[in-house]
């Protein structure tokens, strides 16, 4: 039996364990997938454990950046984003991949007109932010991008090796007085169980045109609900999650799945548990 899993802190909000194990069962794939709450100080110990016992694992917040230094190799997308969410064990060597980048691109493929030439405001500067910004600058032409961080100087230092850093402005949450066409949440704010919180003020949402959330649980976050209620174009985090999961499953196991199959399993997981309900 092969052993796969998800690491992060927290991991209780993830449907990954349910989805992967159901797919393994339906395909007759002799494997198990377990969610593991791993503290930052235990990440190196976990990497050693994984290289000895696991076939691969997924990575969620807050480890998508820190895991990279523990890998033996990684693909060009990890190099360009400095973020990793999928790791394969190849004969004891840990090889890293990033499926958030392509997942985000697929989820916003219809938004060329909403993004090109527009001012963008992003909350959060962690792992998913790096994939989102790399996608924005690779495939779109925004007028400007501003990122919000509780500690702008520290965030700038952590992002210093990324090629697009000089194309964004990093600010704290208190110094935002402009209007932005597109607002994107790349922070965990609004994620289950903190379902009533928003990373932006309601007035900021009202002044925007397009609202994008990378949080998928719940399906409609407080941010998405506020945007939809006020007639904004809204993109939830569910599409990003599903597209990256399909690609990650293929990388980890070779199993080809589909968007509709994974979406159905996400919805089934929500129905069988107490989270993600609106």
Catalytic entry in 64, 118, 225, 232: 64
What is the DSSP pairing of strand 2-8 with strand 56-59? parallel
Q: Which of 268, 192, 207, 256 is nearest to 27 (CA)?
A: 256
Active site residue 106: no
C-alpha distance from residue 269 to each of 13, 22, 70 (Å): 11, 10, 32
b/e for 3-31, b at 16 or more Cβ within 10 A? ebbbbbbebebbbbbbbbbbbbeeeebeb
Q: What band does 275 get if pLDDT is binned at 50, 70 and 90? A: very low
pLDDT at 276 over 60: no
Look at residue 192 in the predicted model and tell me its pLDDT: 87
pTM: 0.91
- 3-state percent helix, strand, coil for the chain, nearest multiple of 5: 40, 20, 40
Assess contact for 184 and 212: CB atoms under 8 A.
Answer: yes
232-236's contacts with Cβ under 8 Å and 24+ in sequence apart are 232/205, 232/208, 233/111, 233/114, 233/209, 234/210, 235/107, 235/108, 235/111, 235/210, 235/211
Half-sphere exposure of residue 53: CA atoms within 13 angstroms, side-chain side: 9
* Bridge partners (DSSP) listed for residue 32: 3
Taking only the tens place, the pLDDT of each residue in 73-88 is: 999 999 999 999 999 9
| Euclidean distance between CA atoms 73 and 17, whole angstroms | 25
Q: What is 2-98+245-272's CATH number, 3.40.50.10860, 3.60.20.30, 3.30.70.360, 3.40.30.10? A: 3.40.50.10860
Higher pLDDT, residue 218 or 274: 218
Assess contact for 189 and 123: CB atoms under 8 A.
Answer: yes
pLDDT at 215 over 50: yes
Q: What is the mean pLDDT of the chain?
A: 94
| Euclidean distance between CA atoms 127 and 49, whole angstroms | 23
CATH of domain 102-238: 3.40.50.720
Do the first three CATH levels of 2-98+245-272 and 102-238 match, i.e. the same topology? yes
**Residue ranges of domains in the chain:** 2-98+245-272, 102-238
pLDDT at 12 over 90: no
pLDDT at 277 over 50: no
What average pLDDT score do residues 125-153 get?
Answer: 95
Percent residues over pLDDT 90 in the chain: 87
Look at residue 174 in the predicted model and tell me its pLDDT: 85
pLDDT at 241 over 60: yes
Taking only the tens place, the pLDDT of each residue in 13-71 is: 788 999 999 999 999 999 999 999 999 999 999 999 999 999 999 999 999 999 999 99
Q: What band does 188 get if pLDDT is binned at 50, 70 and 90? A: very high
Taking only the tens place, the pLDDT of each residue in 97-126 is: 999 999 999 999 999 999 999 999 999 999
Look at residue 278 in the predicted model and tell me its pLDDT: 45
Assess contact for 33 and 41: CB atoms under 8 A.
Answer: no
Q: Which of 186, 142, 184 is nearest to 164 (CA)?
A: 142
Look at residue 62 in the predicted model and tell me its pLDDT: 92
């Amino acid at each position: 039996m092969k052993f796969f899993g998800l690491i992060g802190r927290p991991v209780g909000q993830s449907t990954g364990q349910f989805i992967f194990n159901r797919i393994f069962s339906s395909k007759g794939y002799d494997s198990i997938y377990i969610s593991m709450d791993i503290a930052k100080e235990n990440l190196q110990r976990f990497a050693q454990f994984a290289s000895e016992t696991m076939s691969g694992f997924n990575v969620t917040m807050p480890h998508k950046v820190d895991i990279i230094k523990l890998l033996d190799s990684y693909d060009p997308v990890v190099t360009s984003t400095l973020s990793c969410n999928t790791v394969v064990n190849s004969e004891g060597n840990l090889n890293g991949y990033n499926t958030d980048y392509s997942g985000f691109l697929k989820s916003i493929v219809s938004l060329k007109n909403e993004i090109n030439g527009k001012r963008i405001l992003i909350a959060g500067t962690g792992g998913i932010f790096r994939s989102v910004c790399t996608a924005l600058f690779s495939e779109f032409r925004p007028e400007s991008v501003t990122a919000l961080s509780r500690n702008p100087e520290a965030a700038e230092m952590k992002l210093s090796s990324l090629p697009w850093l000089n194309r964004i402005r990093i600010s704290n949450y208190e110094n935002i007085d402009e209007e932005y066409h597109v607002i994107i949440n790349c922070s965990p704010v609004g994620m289950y169980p903190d379902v009533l919180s928003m990373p932006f003020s309601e007035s900021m949402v009202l002044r925007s045109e397009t609202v994008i959330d990378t949080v998928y649980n719940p399906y409609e976050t407080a941010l998405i609900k506020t945007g939809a209620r006020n007639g904004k174009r809204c993109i939830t985090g569910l599409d990003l999650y599903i597209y990256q999961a399909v690609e990650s499953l293929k990388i980890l196991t070779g199993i080809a799945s589909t968007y509709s199959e994974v979406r159905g399993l996400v919805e089934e997981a929500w129905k069988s548990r107490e989270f993600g309900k609106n």
